[in-house]
Amino acid sequence: MARDFYDILGISRNADQDEIKRSYRRLARKYHPDVNKDPGAEDTFKEINRAYEVLSEPEIRARYDRFGEAGVGAAGAGGYQDFGDMGGFADIFESFFSGFSGGQGQGGRRRGPTRGDDLRLDLRLDFKEAVFGGEKEIKISHLETCGTCTGSGAKPGTRPTTCGTCSGTGQVRRATRTPFGSFTQVSACPTCSGTGEVIENRCDVCGGSGQNQETKKLKITVPAGVDNGTRLRVSSEGDAGLRGGPAGDLYVYLFVAEDAAFKRDGINILSDLKISYLQAILGCTLTIDTVDGPEELEIPAGTQPGTVLTLENRGVPKLGNPVSRGDHLIMVQVDIPTRMKPEERELIEKLAEIRGEKVNRGGIEGFLGGLFRG
């Protein structure tokens, strides 16, 4: 059943890391569920990610080469793949790896490098900003590695020393005797809080934490075609890592403001247009608003109420493939007048006569008469 990971990525067994990466990116773009709405696309996308997870790590790849999928297990590489440099500062790609991240780190010993936290920022966009994308300046507050102590937390010129309580292991063991037997309890060392090191002379700037909360302005590029709930990832702009660990990522969640004139239906834009009954009968050319500005719209003679007219290619650019755009769909409403000048009414009554149609006659009196008869 399981397909070969090299086949999935369309590469040979001796492909180098660059080739793997290139091929992976090409396929991930093609099958990303935001872009590709084909039924099997999401599964294919997951397959591609899984293959990349394994083949992009030389050690795991070697195991896969020798033992096949059994050699890499379900949790395989268990890491977080970085899409951050996919062509822009921010990227449209959600992480699909939450299900895989079983492998490393997490909860174990706390001494090693620790990845910084991911951060979330909510960003509101105008309707047209979401359609066309563009640069946005955002202000974030995140932890940065202290520049004074370069993250060690110790005063420049001094170094953290090995914790005497736990001898650097970061853990203390305590035997507890109970009527049921004795248990060994392992807990984080209270002296160094599990780091295995103590700082005697703390850095003045960060107070020993090795990090400072900094406010920063960032320019992010919002791709065309984003929608409510699209998440952009700005890699490495989350909190700084600890002890040389990588920084977390910043996730920008987008919220699109409603527009008075336009609504969105996926990549199509919807709007209403009210025309008079005469325009509906005789046809006309009207100038209407589109997201690209005023545009001429041909309304054919005999247009029925509720007719949907289409301006092709005036919709929303496809996310990830902005060359292709949706349409602008215009729902026509026909306005039937409730008040008319006497001479208008006369003309219409004449028209009814020509067509031999039974109608109420004689202005308001006829109308009232009609009501009482009814």
Query: What CA–CA distance (Å, rounded) separates 196 from 221?
Result: 42
Q: Does 243 bind Zn ion (CB under 5 A)?
A: no
Answer for which of 8, 20, 163, 203 binds Zn ion (CB under 5 A) is 203
Q: Does 158 bind Zn ion (CB under 5 A)?
A: no
Q: Does 205 bind Zn ion (CB under 5 A)?
A: yes
Answer for which of 149, 163, 222, 234 binds Zn ion (CB under 5 A) is 149
Query: What CA–CA distance (Å, rounded) separates 100 from 104?
Result: 11
Asked whether 81 and 49 are in contact (CB, 8 A), the reply is yes
Q: Which is nearer to Zn ion, 206 or 334 (CB)?
A: 206
Query: What CA–CA distance (Å, rounded) separates 311 from 365?
Result: 45
3-state class of 274 per DSSP? Answer: strand
Number of residues this chain uses to bind Zn ion (CB under 5 A):
6
Q: Which is nearer to Zn ion, 144 or 349 (CB)?
A: 144
Query: What CA–CA distance (Å, rounded) separates 204 from 210?
Result: 10
Q: Give the range of 60-68, 200-208, 278-286, 288-296 binding Zn ion by CB under 5 A.
A: 200-208
Q: Give the range of 196-204, 253-261, 310-318, 328-336 binding Zn ion by CB under 5 A.
A: 196-204
Answer for which of 146, 189, 256, 330 binds Zn ion (CB under 5 A) is 146
Question: Shortest distance, CB of residue 242 to Zn ion, whole angstroms?
Answer: 12
Centroid of chain to Cα 183: 48
Q: Which is nearer to Zn ion, 111 or 155 (CB)?
A: 155
The residues in 302-331 that bind Zn ion, with binding defined as CB under 5 A, are none
Q: Which is nearer to Zn ion, 208 or 320 (CB)?
A: 208
Q: Give the range of 28-36, 112-120, 128-136, 143-151 binding Zn ion by CB under 5 A.
A: 143-151
Number of Cβ within 10 Å of residue 170's Cβ equals 21
The length of the chain, given as a count of residues: 374
Q: Which is nearer to Zn ion, 133 or 151 (CB)?
A: 151
Question: Shortest distance, CB of residue 216 to Zn ion, whole angstroms?
Answer: 18
Asked whether 254 and 228 are in contact (CB, 8 A), the reply is yes
Q: Which is nearer to Zn ion, 151 or 317 (CB)?
A: 151
Question: Shortest distance, CB of residue 203 to Zn ion, whole angstroms?
Answer: 3
Q: Which is nearer to Zn ion, 148 or 165 (CB)?
A: 148
Q: Which two tokens stand for residue 290?
A: 């589109």
Question: Shortest distance, CB of residue 197 to Zn ion, whole angstroms?
Answer: 14
Query: What CA–CA distance (Å, rounded) separates 222 from 156?
Result: 41
Question: Shortest distance, CB of residue 19 to Zn ion, whole angstroms?
Answer: 42
Q: Which is nearer to Zn ion, 114 or 307 (CB)?
A: 114
Pairing verdict, β 171-178 and 284-290: unpaired
Answer for which of 148, 169, 290, 360 binds Zn ion (CB under 5 A) is 148
Q: Nearest 5°: CA angle at 44, between 42 and 49?
A: 95
Sheet holding 263-265, edge to edge: 263-265, 268-276, 328-335, 308-311
| Residue 10 vs residues 7, 14, 57, 82: alpha-carbon distances, Å | 5, 12, 17, 21
Q: Which two tokens stand for residue 261?
A: 């004139």
The residues in 330-359 that bind Zn ion, with binding defined as CB under 5 A, are none
Q: Which is nearer to Zn ion, 36 or 152 (CB)?
A: 152
Q: Does 56 bind Zn ion (CB under 5 A)?
A: no
Asked whether 164 and 157 are in contact (CB, 8 A), the reply is no
CA dihedral 219, 220, 223, 225 (to 10 degrees): -100
Instruction: Give me the residues that bind Zn ion (CB under 5 A), please.
Output: 146, 148-149, 203, 205-206
